[in-house]
Amino acid sequence: MKLNIKPLFYNLIVLWPLVSFASDTVEQDAYAAMVAKKIKTVMAQQHIPGMAVELIIDGKEHEYYFGVANRETKEPVTRKTIFELGSISKIMTGLLVAQEIDWAKMSLSDPLKKYLKELPTSFNDITLQDLATHTSGLPHQLSHDIQNKEEALTSLSTLKSEYDPKEEWIYSNVGAGLLGYALEAATEKSYDKLYYRHIMLPLGMVNGVEVPPSLQKYMAQGYTQNNTSAYSVNANLFPAADGVKASALDMQKFLKAAIGLPDTPMRVLYPMRLTQSVFVKIGHDFQGLGWQIHPIIKNKTSALKNVTDEIVLGPVGISEIYERPTYDGDALIDKTGTTNGFRAYIAVLPNRKSGIVILANKNVPNSAIVKPAREILLGL
């Protein structure tokens, strides 16, 4: 740790990527060939209709687009194609909280009940940090019958958790959703408006929880693992957990900020670094505010490329919770996202000014998107 911080199959023609933003022809061809080989392979294996890759190596941007956004219309994937991000939304939520902390309007030590007073006494010991780091003891999901905020809070009024806060790491959409509710209560603004004002505007992004009517034509059709059309994610319940949508270009801009390239606005950069700091140790890995942090041992990256399809939701015993979170710019800092019809992954190596985003309009196994992304990023 380095420093404390402030505050079905497709024709080859369809699968061949559109490429731009390479620094020179030789480098462009080398990157395009490597990316195309890995992405075409996984698309064929998993019958993925379309994928987008945003890649930054040593501060230089590259973009690659494959396949179609919709099997019926055959509309190709482009930089304007909009995907559901799933749980990548959690790092956006962490960033919004970190901004409020940077502006001295909230604190990670604040109890959740400071903002959601209607919650029962069983929530007394849960802090905003617990919610952001999955140490709240709250379950992964609520009943599928629950559709909105009011129903969620009513359900939580009788919830009896099996785990105590800070004792077990449990990946919790409920916790992230409540963090979003706390943000809304503190600012008196909807999550979508907060995201627009504090992330989209400063970074020049155009899509959020609600896709503007004028941009709906760019929304990709998602597909389930059984290759059927998927219904859209219900952002009415926990938008802060899994409700954000973004175009490939949006994610290129977010990726630059997540790496911390020189043109990142200060109002985003310092809070971003806080979200990427180590708060909790779980086994060999670490938890930030939404992000997961994987220390890199020199010349030993093979373990990071050995990706399985196992999804660890917990409970997992917590090794340590750090009083003074630290930031390691040499680590691989990443986050996955999944919805009914989409898969997404973002990873950054800040000190190398490098990172990658892969977006797919099909719900595929974990290794299908994380493994090629890490092989590309770490291979370059």
Q: Mind telling me the catalytic residues?
A: 87, 171
Q: How far apart are CA 356 and CA 336, in angstroms?
A: 12
DSSP β-ladder status, 82-84 and 245-247: antiparallel
Q: How far apart are CA 260 and CA 92, in angstroms?
A: 15
Which residue bears the tokens 């992330």? 199
Q: How far apart are CA 180 and CA 132, in angstroms?
A: 10
Diameter of the chain measured on Cα atoms: 63
The DSSP code sequence of 234-295 is: -TTT-HHHH--EEEHHHHHHHHHHHHT-TTS-HHHHHHHHHHTSEEEEETTEEE-SS-EEE-
Residue type, 292: Q
Which residue bears the tokens 């790491």? 169
How far from 23 is each of 33, 57, 283, 374, CA to CA, in Å?
A: 15, 10, 40, 22
Q: Own/partner pairs for 152-156, CB < 8 Å, 24+ apart?
A: 152/177, 152/237, 152/238, 153/116, 153/118, 153/119, 153/181, 156/119, 156/120, 156/123
Q: How far apart are CA 115 and CA 94, in angstroms?
A: 16
Q: How far apart are CA 124 and CA 42, in angstroms?
A: 46
By the 10 Å C-beta count (0-12 exposed, 13-18 middle, 19+ buried), 228 is classed as exposed
The shares of helix, strand and coil residues in the chain, as percent rounded to the nearest 5, are: 40, 20, 40
